[in-house]
Amino acid sequence: MFKRALFAAACAVALGAGPAAAQQLRIASNFPTQHTSSVAMEQFKSEVEAATKKELAVDLFPAMQLGGAQENVDQTRSGAIFGTVIGAAFLSRTVPEISALSVPFLFTSRQQAFKVVDGKVGALIAQRLSDKGFLHLGFMELGSRNLTNNTRPIKTLADFKGLKIRLQPDDIHLATFRALGANPVAMDIKEVYSALQQGVLDGQENPYAVIRDRNFNQVQKYLTGTGHFFDFIVIVANKKRFDGLKPEQQKAIRGAMGKAVAKQRVDAEKADTESRDELKKRGMQFEAPSPQLVAEMRKATAGVVDLLKKKVDPKLVDEVLASAK
């Protein structure tokens, strides 16, 4: 009995002298595991854990494992999870200034779009996020958003009329499609496939890669390269939890995220073309809008900027417009 007690005491001392348990950083995303953002976050995880000698353990939960997009935003803000990788529109209800990036047909290239968010505009939005308890860690590419539907090909402005189209929960996105003549419906992405399948919706809009990865081609026939918005993925953390980390841990997170963002942007550009071609191979009927249709869509949605200036500081909207030039 004495020997067993001595052995147990020795084990207790040895365990007490061991390294402290790693601090868990849970990060959620609603993007599928094969999406470029999910792949980039795997790189982020490896680099953070290596840089901190596993003092920080990054636990990734892609593909809506911890709930829908809005739930992930709320979980991050409350501190229930460390952070989330999320489409920008899902933050717009908490931080309306993000909608300033949603001027219809503003961005004509990804280079132009990233020049805007990597500059003064991005810094202003980061400050607004901070005011609401979020720490902004970077902008990834969600991409140019395009329309699918199951009713008819979109060749004229009149073809939008009455189509029930799912959009992200952003007032400016919804107003844009009302201006085009459609009947927009805000809906979390987790509900969209079944709504399309059951005919509750006529269509939806997303970047080509999201349309492909979520297999919307199985329940949609027509694909139109409208490019009405260039959209962003925003990476945010709970500010209070981030501020509670050691300075060297904070540095490791920022450094690893900078590399992950750079990787994702490169991968997303490649995936955009590949996914469009794949959707055509899967049988979707693709239409590139004519110059006349593009001009008509721009004209129909021109008034959305005025609505946007009522929602957020007009100076921020003007800064976005000026930066885009």
Q: Token pair for residue 65? A: 């494992």
For residue 7, what pLDDT is reported?
47
Superfamily for the 21-324 domain: Bacterial extracellular solute-binding protein, family 7 (3.40.190.170)
For 53, 69, 74, 240, the CA distances from 143, given in Å and listed in that order, are 35, 17, 24, 30
Per-residue pLDDT tens for 195-240?
Answer: 999 999 999 999 999 999 999 999 999 999 999 999 999 999 999 9
φ/ψ (deg, to 5) at 122: -60, -40
pLDDT in tens, 66-97: 999 999 999 999 999 999 999 999 999 999 99
pLDDT value for 21: 82
pLDDT of residue 12: 44
Mean pLDDT of the chain: 94
Segment 152-163, tens digit of pLDDT: 999 999 999 999
Tokens standing for residue 50 = 């290596």
Q: What are phi and psi of 145, to 5 degrees?
A: -90, 135
Judge whether residue 319 has pLDDT over 60: yes
Q: Are 264 and 193 in contact (CB under 8 A)?
A: no
pLDDT at 1 over 50: no
The overall pTM is greater than 0.95: no
Q: Does residue 5 register a pLDDT over 60?
A: no
**Whole-angstrom Cα distance, residue 89 to residue 157?**
25
Domain locations along the chain: 21-324
Quickly tell me which residue has 């590139």 as its tokens.
Answer: 288
| Residue given tokens 């209800």 in the structure block | 93
For residues 112 and 324, give the distance between their C-alpha atoms in angstroms, rounded to a whole number: 6
Q: Strand 183-186 relative to strand 222-224: parallel, antiparallel, unpaired?
A: unpaired
